[in-house]
Structure 1
Amino acid sequence: MPPKRTISKDVIRARRKELHRRACEGELMLPAAFKEMRNAIGMTQADFAYHFGLTRKQVIELESGKGNPTLETLTKFCRPFGFRVGFVFPGRPPEW
């Protein structure tokens, strides 16, 4: 396995800011978002799993779309980004 490249704090900050922007715009969709979120902080699947109380298998399944995460697992994945699990209305809300 090649050595892990260290990512600067400025790059991580920029990646996290972009993730937040995309989430606010409704552009961050599962399951691809899992891998993007993990990569944004420069962690391997094993590192992410260890630091956030998941198994590597859970991370792999979530990123591939094969997993069926519980609310607890989603919360663990979202925690480092300040995200909360909830419903998001796609597009503009209806005029009531």
Structure 2
Amino acid sequence: MPRRATKKRTPEEIRREKEALYADIDAGLLTIGQATRRMRKIVGLTQTEYAEKILKIYPRVLMEIERDRGNPTLETLEKIARPFGLKVGFVAKKSHLPGAGE
């Protein structure tokens, strides 16, 4: 299957895409699959390229994660997070934070 041509983006556009991604993650608006797919799209790679060259995982594993069907290990989640400077951990829902909902 031929790869679709993508428009060349400026470093500023890529920076804005990353900032939007981080904001959506912070707000809890994305599933792991949605966040992973956006990360891959930001760097402009196919699933196979991103899985093999960047994450060092099998493309099928990435495909399942992006579809929110996978059950990734902690190690795999860390591989996904690392290129974007993210860490895997527990995050409290905003409604469970002290002072929320009072």
Task: Show structure 1 runs of 5+ residues with no match.
Answer: none
Task: Show structure 2 runs of 5+ residues with no match.
Answer: none
2:80 is aligned with 1:77: yes
TM value normalised by structure 1? 0.84
2:54 is aligned with 1:49: no
Equivalent position amino acid for 1:16 in 2: K
Task: Map 1:1-96; keep pairs closer than 5 Å.
Answer: 1-5=2-6, 6-50=8-52, 51-92=54-95, 93-95=97-99
The alpha carbon displacement at 1:3 in A equals 4.9
The alpha carbon displacement at 1:80 in A equals 1.2
Distance 1:33 1:58 in 2: 15
Distance 2:20 2:34 in 1: 15
Q: Tell me: higher relative CO, structure 1 or 2? Use CA pairs within 8 A at least 6 residues apart.
A: 1
Distance 1:52 1:31 in 2: 14
Identity %: 34
CA deviations 1:15-51 (Å, max 9, x no partner) are: 1111111122222322222212211222211111122
Paired residues, number: 95
TM value normalised by structure 2? 0.80
The alpha carbon displacement at 1:91 in A equals 1.3
The alpha carbon displacement at 1:8 in A equals 2.9
